[in-house]
């Protein structure tokens, strides 16, 4: 059986893979993520490929899983906020609106890489300034694309989703499972 590596330091991605019973090790990618691509699907696809290739270079006997997630709202790509006011700006942009979460997933082994993108629409209710302040006080926004995690306090803001829930958390499990199967990994 091929050794599996998750090329991410994300605790959420690690938890998701553990949830489906996968045995793997974690080797975060150190690839530079300075890519100037404006299309969110293309961006997450390229970044996941870059991360997978970076980790695979030193682990060529393994199967590497890499991912990248962005939130796309009102024609803008939202990554992780740089500070509290940036997080507040993002949450205000999402309030009362639909946004799309894109995650690019790459699975790479000695036979090459397979990359696909998962897309989930998320609808936020209209938020009051008090809702936003209470949320920001919890500091959950700081390390998440779009300044929120659907699995945390911000779950109360979500009216509905269309698509894969685990994609919004950070790793679309059904897609990962299918890509691993295509690589012959159970």
Task: Name the strand (E) or helix (H) holding 50.
Answer: helix 40-56
The whole-angstrom separation of Cα 103 and Cα 91 is: 19
Contact 123/158 with Cβ under 8 angstroms?
yes
Q: What pLDDT shows up at residue 139?
A: 94
Q: What is the pLDDT of residues 81-121, one digit of tens each?
A: 999 999 999 999 999 999 999 999 999 999 999 999 999 99
For residue 179, is pLDDT > 80?
yes
Question: Can you name the residues that pair with 26 across neighbouring β-strands?
Answer: 6
Residue from 39, 54, 68, 109 carrying the catalytic annotation: 68
Strands 112-124 and 158-162: antiparallel
Q: What pLDDT shows up at residue 58?
A: 96
Q: pTM value?
A: 0.94
Q: What is the pLDDT of residues 134-148, one digit of tens each?
A: 999 999 999 899 999
Q: What pLDDT shows up at residue 96?
A: 98
Contact 4/21 with Cβ under 8 angstroms?
no
What is the band of 35 on the pLDDT scale with cuts at 50, 70, 90? confident
Instruction: Give me 32's structure tokens.
Output: 């530079």
Instruction: Give me 131's structure tokens.
Output: 């809702």
Task: Give the side-chain half-sphere CA count within 13 A for 67.
Answer: 34
What is the band of 123 on the pLDDT scale with cuts at 50, 70, 90? very high
Is 39 catalytic? The answer is no
Q: Which domains does the chain have, with CATH numbers?
A: 3-182 (3.90.950.10)
- What percent of the chain has a predicted confidence (pLDDT) above 90? 92
Residue 91: exposure state from Cβ atoms within 10 A (0-12, 13-18, ≥19): buried
Q: What is the pLDDT of residues 52-69, one digit of tens each?
A: 999 999 999 999 999 999
No. of H helices and E strands in the chain? 6, 7
């Amino acid at each position: 059986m091929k050794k599996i590596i998750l090329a991410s330091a994300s605790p959420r991605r690690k938890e998701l893979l553990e949830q489906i019973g996968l045995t793997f090790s974690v080797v975060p990618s150190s690839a530079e993520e300075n890519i100037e691509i404006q299309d969110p699907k293309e961006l997450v696809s390229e970044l996941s490929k870059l991360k997978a290739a970076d980790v695979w270079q030193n682990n060529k006997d393994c199967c590497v899983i890499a991912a990248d997630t962005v939130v796309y709202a009102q024609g803008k790509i939202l990554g992780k906020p740089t500070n509290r006011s940036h997080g507040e700006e993002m949450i205000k942009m999402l309030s009362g609106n639909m946004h799309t979460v894109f995650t690019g997933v790459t699975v790479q082994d000695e036979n090459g890489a397979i990359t696909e993108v998962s897309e989930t629409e998320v609808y936020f209710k209209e938020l009051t300034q008090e809702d936003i302040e209470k949320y920001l006080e919890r500091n959950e926004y700081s390390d998440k694309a779009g300044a929120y995690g659907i699995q945390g306090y911000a779950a109360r803001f979500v009216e509905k989703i269309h698509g894969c829930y685990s994609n919004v958390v950070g790793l679309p499990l059904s897609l990962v499972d299918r890509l691993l199967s295509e690589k012959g990994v159970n």
